[in-house]
């Protein structure tokens, strides 16, 4: 059973990561950029001439791995789901370099024995050369088998409310059948996304796409529809994962603009299921 008094505030991972231009290109390809290979705006993320790093790459830089699986945390890890993810960009990410990452548990919320517990963590990504803060990443996991430990029951940030009107923009983007196998090369080797037997044991018909990769496709939609492929304008993004998305499906992102804020959700076109909900992004003016 979780000991929230022991976990909250604990540094669960600290690492230094060196990445190359090739890694930056791989990340963009693994999240679907370059599906129109002769489109100049997309080439800036997948071709070394004039290369730019994507804001969402902050999710995988100095990635701590599935640390909840470690036995010292006493979590029923096979029942853990990825619930929410957010990032803030403080300085543009270099296309290559060395960064440090520190991941700390920031909160644990007990939902009861039959509902599990939310485990919230924060990762700070810093430039190893000067210590400057590049990005902050917030992650929330739902440990479905670990509630009922008499821990705190809140507070928890309210869900983003989407406008009650037709979306201002709609962007549909494809995913590849092998997308999850590509994305694993960015550091998340959870077998749920590669092994059909593991996926079936988890209740899925086949391997699902990583939540962070699905989020990155929606981030592509925001950069395409709202930023004219000027990725540096996307300063922050927040989303809840509401259903699995399968490699090979088409992601339809619906966007509502309100000044420098974009609200969004995303559905699988083929199944008509909302896979990302309660989304918000901060977009700088031109």
Residue among 217, 238, 253, 286 nearest 54 (CA): 217
* CA 167 to each of CA 120, 154, 262, 264: distance values in angstroms, whole numbers, following the listed order: 31, 32, 10, 8
User: Which token pair is 99?
Assistant: 């960064």
Residues tagged active-site:
188, 193
User: Which token pair is 56?
Assistant: 């969402």
Helix (H) / strand (E) element for 80: namely strand 80-89
Taking the CB of residue 245, how many other CB atoms lie within 10 A of it? 29
Helix (H) / strand (E) element for 29: namely helix 21-30
Provide φ and ψ at 136, rounded to 5°.
-125, 130
Residues 6+ apart with CB under 8 A from 50: 44
Q: Compute and round to an integer the Cα radius of gyration of the chain.
A: 18
User: Do the Cβ atoms of 115 and 151 come closer than 8 Å?
Assistant: no
Per DSSP, 69 falls in state G
CA–CA distance, 196 with 207 (Å, rounded to integer)? 6
In DSSP terms, which residues pair with 2 in a beta bridge?
Answer: none
Alpha helices in 31-164 (DSSP H): 40-46
């Amino acid at each position: 059973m979780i000991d929230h008094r022991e976990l909250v505030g604990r540094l669960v991972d600290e690492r230094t990561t060196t990445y190359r231009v090739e890694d930056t290109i791989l990340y963009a390809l693994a999240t679907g950029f370059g599906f129109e290979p002769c489109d100049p705006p997309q080439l800036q993320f997948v071709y070394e001439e004039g290369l730019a790093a994507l804001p969402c790459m902050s999710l995988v830089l100095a990635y701590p791995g599935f640390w909840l699986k470690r036995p010292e945390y006493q979590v029923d890890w096979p029942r853990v789901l990825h619930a929410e993810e957010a990032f803030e960009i403080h300085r543009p990410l270099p296309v290559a370099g060395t960064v440090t990452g520190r991941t700390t548990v920031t909160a644990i919320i007990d939902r009861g024995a039959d509902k599990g517990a939310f485990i919230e963590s924060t990762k700070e990504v810093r430039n190893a050369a000067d210590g400057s803060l590049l990005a902050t990443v917030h992650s929330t996991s739902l440990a479905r088998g670990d509630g009922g430990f008499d821990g705190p029951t809140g507070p928890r940030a309210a869900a983003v409310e989407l406008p009650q009107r037709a979306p201002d923009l709609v962007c549909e983007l494809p995913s590849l059948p092998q997308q999850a196998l590509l994305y694993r090369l960015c550091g998340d080797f959870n077998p749920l996304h590669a092994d059909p037997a593991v996926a079936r044991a988890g209740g899925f018909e086949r391997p699902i796409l990583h939540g962070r990769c699905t989020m990155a496709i929606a981030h592509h939609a925001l950069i395409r529809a709202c930023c004219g492929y000027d990725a540096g304008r996307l300063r922050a993004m927040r989303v809840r994962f509401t259903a699995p998305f399968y490699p090979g499906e088409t992601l339809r992102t619906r966007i509502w603009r309100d000044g420098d804020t974009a609200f969004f959700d995303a559905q699988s076109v083929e199944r008509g299921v909302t896979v990302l909900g309660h989304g918000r992004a901060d977009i700088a003016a031109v």
